[in-house]
Structure 1
């Protein structure tokens, strides 16, 4: 146990110290890897090892999915899909009690197929959703809570950047991970809708509009081609027409055609989106390359083996091990960005899953859902800060608004933990 503490302090302590003072996560992992290699516990500094890991860590067909889906999200925002989706969602469910709050959730489910990131949902739809709820008389806390909670649906419903990162690092099928996230994402949306109905009745919120067949039809026509993007991705994977990576490429081409059809795309704007998505792609792939080196150093230190022994010494029951790992992820998620947490922890956790017999595909959904809750958890939840920027609320008001909505989020997490088949059903078809 003492050896584990010493190794973990060296391996994780240096990294977290660098991260805490503002060093970018990739650079922090690289510096930590070198420090560990030259330490008495390391295997010695070797430039050949470093260069091989940086090269072969990026030599993966699955990594091609990252630039496609990053560009897809940017293009869908650029051509004005956000407003079309919100209008259609409003025409669809605006007539129910708490109507605009339901629109908030439905729009997030649809928009998730365009961005695959909770932060993108909060920044892209957050301002529109929050403003609409306030304009219809909903109080600030309720509006902030619904808007914040609905953002974590995006990384569960395909496509999903966090699931791509997990799939690459854990060597799991990205297509299967995409399919495994469908039911948990839809379940979260359903439970949020039920909670909105209950709160709306208690607080006396009335329907915001009556159903208008003409408006429904017009908004549906305006949003139909955009809604086809997630259907194209999931349908293509389910039917076997293409892999998750190829689905991203097809979706990008489809979206380019959509932009030209809408007349919202210019060469200058397209060049700008390409440039910004390339910068994001380079940042993520650099993180993955350094993560491969960081994972090798962890193996050389035998950290995964020591952590597995420590956890299994407490219990070798699968459920208890999962609960222990979830507790760790909840703590990490409160102060570390999702991609950074996945990059750092997956190489350490996967050997534990193998030893205990937990399906890595199933745990990938559990891990991403847990870290998504971390995005809404003080003190450093990124979505909290995004909502502060795109609304008229203070950070304290955002946090207070989110508190009640931890109930549906943790309820879904508990259901996913207790019933693995909820995740594995579609991938096993």
Structure 2
């Protein structure tokens, strides 16, 4: 079977149908893979083939980074580190026009170096940021909009669980992907801050609060233990001192040390609860990865990637045009599907064809992440919207109204990253990872 429409229908439509009916993405991937093998489109069905593909996908040292980063992020949330980071960010950028809007963005940038998840940012920091802004007279919708928009930075700046999953699925260096996310994350943050500044100046609500060097020093001392965590992760990977997995383990140990020795608020029950949540999330992710590897194997044997390459090249042979089309596709998918599910369904199809159409897989991965993160704050089903609804008590319509203006800087950043691949690849190239 080489008809592209029939192949696409066979591989994609059953997945979407099962997703709509609530079948977990892991089981959906496994069922579709088994169906295709039984129909004789891909490799011949055997239990050994199925099991071997699942095992080979999990027999990876890199995947150990997932539970360690999940654990470190949850630990940082639970020990009270977010309050100190918020105070530091407020002392640093409070005098800028837009005041607490900038604080919101800076906190998200710093926190992204610990959690790597947009929903964790919105849920973990959302209530703190929202209450701080509304107590200073900010409209609730505006405060929720800035909080949601800034949360999209989390999975772009390392560490990032979605980037790890993409790297494993596409067989791309996790370290290179991590470093490639630094500049894009900062571009998104600076774009949001510039937009907030312009909005504050135009509306006449620009901050007039004075800068206090003493307050900045005192808050930086309190926040220093937390600020060291991103430096350990990024610095260790960039210098070659750690692999991403080792950096994740160090971050986890460091988080426990902070809670037990510095903040002294880590009790056995809290630690046990965090471990339980980490094990549960890790089990779900590894199950998805295992079934997705079978799905990717069957896809490759079926010849769909080759057919897709031929079809794409009939549209355009210009990589930038194709990447813009991919970004639009991911923006739409991100509005109603989970990030990990999209990665596991789409990447096995797309990754094999990237070299043939002239797109760097690292550049593609970061563009994909940025587009999917914007999708997370987009109606009708953006996950971050519902996380904000829980922590703000606003109607979903009010949250959407507050977020809409911030699509401008985020989409602008996405287009810039597509047009200028060097912005994405500069840091990993500097450290010799590309």
Could you state the TM-score of these two structures normalised by the residue count of structure 2? 0.96
Could you say if the C-alpha distance between residues 117 and 208 of structure 1 is closer, same or farther in structure 2, counting changes exceeding 3 Å?
Answer: farther
Which residue pairs with 2:312 in the alignment? 311
Deviation at 1:185, TM superposition (A): 0.5
Q: Deviations over 1:239-282 (max 9, x none)?
A: 11111111111111111111112101111211111111011111
Deviation at 1:321, TM superposition (A): 1.6
Which residue pairs with 1:164 in the alignment? 164
Which residue pairs with 2:294 in the alignment? 293
Partner of 2:393: helix, strand, or coil?
coil
Which residue pairs with 1:235 in the alignment? 235
Which residue pairs with 1:377 in the alignment? 378
Contact 1:100–1:208 under 8 Å retained in 2:
no
Deviation at 1:428, TM superposition (A): 0.6
Deviation at 1:45, TM superposition (A): 2.6
Which residue pairs with 1:173 in the alignment? 173
Q: Counterparts of 1:61-100 in structure 2 under 5 Å?
A: 61-100=61-100
Q: For residues 387 and 2 of structure 1, what CA distance do their matches in structure 2 show? A: 45
Q: For residues 222 and 166 of structure 1, what CA distance do their matches in structure 2 show? A: 35
Q: For residues 251 and 366 of structure 2, what CA distance do their matches in structure 1 show? A: 23
Deviation at 1:201, TM superposition (A): 1.2
Deviation at 1:40, TM superposition (A): 5.0
Which residue pairs with 1:149 in the alignment? 149
Contact 2:2–2:307 under 8 Å retained in 1:
no
Contact 1:98–1:208 under 8 Å retained in 2:
no
Q: For residues 62 and 412 of structure 2, what CA distance do their matches in structure 1 show? A: 32
Contact 1:75–1:255 under 8 Å retained in 2:
yes
Which residue pairs with 1:109 in the alignment? 109
Deviation at 1:2, TM superposition (A): 8.7
Q: For residues 142 and 268 of structure 1, what CA distance do their matches in structure 2 show? A: 37
Contact 1:74–1:273 under 8 Å retained in 2:
yes
Q: For residues 45 and 160 of structure 1, what CA distance do their matches in structure 2 show? A: 35
Which residue pairs with 1:335 in the alignment? 336
Which residue pairs with 1:320 in the alignment? 321
Contact 1:308–1:351 under 8 Å retained in 2:
no
Which residue pairs with 2:362 in the alignment? 361
Q: Counterparts of 1:3-22 in structure 2 under 5 Å?
A: 3-22=3-22
Deviation at 1:397, TM superposition (A): 1.0
Which stretch of structure 1 is more off in the superposition, 379-388 or 2-11? 2-11
Which residue pairs with 1:121 in the alignment? 121
Q: For residues 284 and 96 of structure 1, what CA distance do their matches in structure 2 show? A: 41
Which residue pairs with 2:41 in the alignment? 41
Which residue pairs with 2:29 in the alignment? 29
Contact 1:158–1:234 under 8 Å retained in 2:
yes
Whether 1:283 aligns to 2:290 is no
Deviation at 1:298, TM superposition (A): 1.0
Partner of 1:386: helix, strand, or coil?
helix
Q: For residues 208 and 27 of structure 1, what CA distance do their matches in structure 2 show? A: 55
Contact 1:136–1:208 under 8 Å retained in 2:
no
Number of positions where the alignment pairs a residue of Structure 1 with one of Structure 2: 429
Which residue pairs with 2:130 in the alignment? 130
Contact 2:180–2:427 under 8 Å retained in 1:
yes
Q: For residues 225 and 43 of structure 1, what CA distance do their matches in structure 2 show? A: 52
Q: For residues 234 and 266 of structure 1, what CA distance do their matches in structure 2 show? A: 29
Q: For residues 322 and 175 of structure 1, what CA distance do their matches in structure 2 show? A: 23
Q: For residues 42 and 53 of structure 2, what CA distance do their matches in structure 1 show? A: 16
RMSD across aligned positions (CA)? 1.4
Deviation at 1:213, TM superposition (A): 3.4
Q: For residues 76 and 119 of structure 1, what CA distance do their matches in structure 2 show? A: 15
Could you say if the C-alpha distance between residues 208 and 67 of structure 1 is closer, same or farther in structure 2, counting changes exceeding 3 Å?
Answer: farther
Gapped regions of structure 2 (runs ≥ 5) = none
Deviation at 1:44, TM superposition (A): 3.8
Q: For residues 117 and 132 of structure 1, what CA distance do their matches in structure 2 show? A: 22
Q: Deviations over 1:138-167 (max 9, x none)?
A: 122321221111001111111111111111
Q: Deviations over 1:168-199 (max 9, x none)?
A: 11111111111001011011111111111111
Could you say if the C-alpha distance between residues 2 and 290 of structure 1 is closer, same or farther in structure 2, counting changes exceeding 3 Å?
Answer: closer
Deviation at 1:111, TM superposition (A): 0.5
Q: Deviations over 1:195-216 (max 9, x none)?
A: 1111111112142633233432
Which stretch of structure 1 is more off in the superposition, 407-416 or 38-47? 38-47
Deviation at 1:346, TM superposition (A): 0.8
Q: For residues 344 and 372 of structure 1, what CA distance do their matches in structure 2 show? A: 17
Partner of 1:88: helix, strand, or coil?
helix
Deviation at 1:340, TM superposition (A): 0.8
Deviation at 1:53, TM superposition (A): 0.7
